[in-house]
Amino acid sequence: MKRLADNNKSQNVKSLLFYMLLFSLLLLAVKAVAQEKSPDTAIENPLVAKAVAQLEQANLWQKQANELILKANTVRKQLKKLRARAAKSTDKQRFEQEIQGLLAQLTQAQQQGAELRTKSLALKQQAKTDFEQAMLHIWPQWLHNRDALTLADSLNGSLAHNTRVRSVHKNMLGFGTEPSTTTAHPEMSLQVPALGKQNAPADLNISSFQFSRHEQYFAHIEVHPGGSDQSSASSLAEKEPGAGQAASSSVPLNEIHQWRLMISDVRGNPVEDVEIEVQGHMPGHVHGLPTKPAVVEEIDSGIYLVDGLKFQMKGWWVMKFILRQPGADNSHFADDFFTFNLVL
C-alpha cells in the first residue's frame, strides 16, 4: 500500500510539473505574439519609421487644429450673444472692451488653427511620399508605375454630348456624313461637341498611392498587363521578378482589364489573406461600374489581382476597396477602406 501511495504521489508530481511547463510555454507564446503586434516594436525599414513619425505628428497637429477651430466657434457664439446684449444696452462702452477681447481670441484661434492644418497637410503629404519610397523596397518586382492612372484611348467623337455627326440610329454615329457647321440648333445645350464627362475638382487627389480611411494601411494600384484570357498572374510570379510586366499607367477604354492592388500596414508589413470588396462609381453621372470587378487572387504577399474592371466613359471615376476583416480585435478598424480618384 505504501508503494502504491508513493507511485500515485510521483505521478501527481509529474503531472503538476507537466502542466506548469505547458502553462509557461503558453505564456511565452502569448507574450511573443503581443510583442510582434505591439505598435512599440521597432520598425526595421528607416523610411517607414520616418513616415510613421511624420504621420503621427501630422495627426497631432490636425487634432490641435480641430480643437482651435472648435474654440473659435465657441468664441464666435459668445461674441454674438455679447453684441446682442450691447445692442440693447444704453451703455455700449461697458461692453466694448469685452467684445475687443473676444475678437482677439477669435482671430488668434482661427489663425493658429489654419496654420496647424496647413502644416499637418504638408507633413502628411511628405509621409505619403516616404511610404511610396518604402513600397519600392518592399515590392521592387511588382511596383513599376508610380504615376496616376490615365486613359489609353483618345476617342472623342462618340463620347460627345450634342455631337453634330448624326446617324439614322440615335445611338450610332454616321461618320460618312457631312456635319453641319452653320445651322444653329436651339434644342442643343451646346453648339460644339463636348466630351461626355464632368469637370473634376481642381485639387482632386488622383494619386495611385493612398492611405486607408483610418490610416491603418497604405495601398497602391496599377494596371496589370494582359487580361483574363492571358496566362495567370501566379504563373507570372513564378518567373523571374518583373517578367512580362511592363510599366503601364494606361487604362483601356471600354475593355475588361486587370489591376494590381498592393497593400501594406503603416509599419511596412504586407497585408495578407484579407477579403476585399471592390466598388466603383462615377460621381457626376450618378452610376456605378458596368461590370462587377473582384479580387480573384493574391499573387504575392500583399499583392492582390483585381479582375473584371471596365470603364465605358471618360470622366471622373471613384474606386473603393473595402477590407473585410472578420474577427478583428477592434471593430472600429474591422472594415477599413481605400478610395482612389481617377480622371480618365
Write the pLDDT tens digit of every residue in 251-306. Answer: 999 899 999 999 999 888 999 999 999 999 998 787 889 999 999 999 999 999 99
- CA angle 283/284/290 to nearest 5° reads 65
Q: Cite the DSSP H helix spans in the chain.
A: 2-37, 46-88, 93-138, 233-238
Band of residue 152 on the pLDDT scale cut at 50, 70, 90: confident
Q: Is the model's pLDDT at 160 over the cut of 50?
A: no
Would you say residue 190 has pLDDT above 90?
Answer: no
| % pLDDT > 70, the chain | 64
CA distance 327 to 333: 11
pLDDT at 334 over 50: yes
Of 273, 165, 188, 260, nearest in space to 222 by CA: 260
Model confidence at 329, pLDDT cuts 50, 70, 90, reads low
Q: pLDDT band for position 201 (50/70/90)?
A: confident
Nearest Cα residue to 50 out of 136, 126, 135, 137 = 126
pLDDT at 245: 42
pTM confidence score = 0.68
In the predicted model, what is the mean pLDDT of residues 309-327? 87
pLDDT at position 188:
52
pLDDT at 57: 94
Q: What is the mean pLDDT of residues 8-19?
A: 62
Q: Taking residues 55-65, report their average pLDDT.
A: 94
CB of 314 closer than 8 Å to CB of 195: yes
**Pairwise CA distance, residues 49 & 39, whole Å:** 11
Query: CB-hemisphere CA count at 13 Å for 318?
Result: 18
Residue 88 banded pLDDT, cuts 50, 70, 90: confident
Inform me whether the pLDDT recorded for 176 exceeds 70: no
Query: 18: pLDDT confidence band, cut at 50, 70 and 90?
Result: low
* DSSP output for 120-161: HHHHHHHHHHHHHHHHHHH-TTT----SPPEES----GGGEE
Residue that wins the pLDDT comparison between 154 and 332: 154
Average pLDDT score over the chain:
77
Q: What pLDDT does 117 receive?
A: 95
Residue that wins the pLDDT comparison between 20 and 157:
20
pLDDT digits (tens, 9 = 90+) for 292-315: 999 999 999 999 999 999 998 888
Average pLDDT of the segment spanning 65-82: 93
Q: How much is the pLDDT for 162?
A: 43
What pLDDT is attached to residue 35? 41
Q: What is the pLDDT of residues 93-128, one digit of tens each?
A: 888 888 899 999 999 999 999 999 999 999 999 999
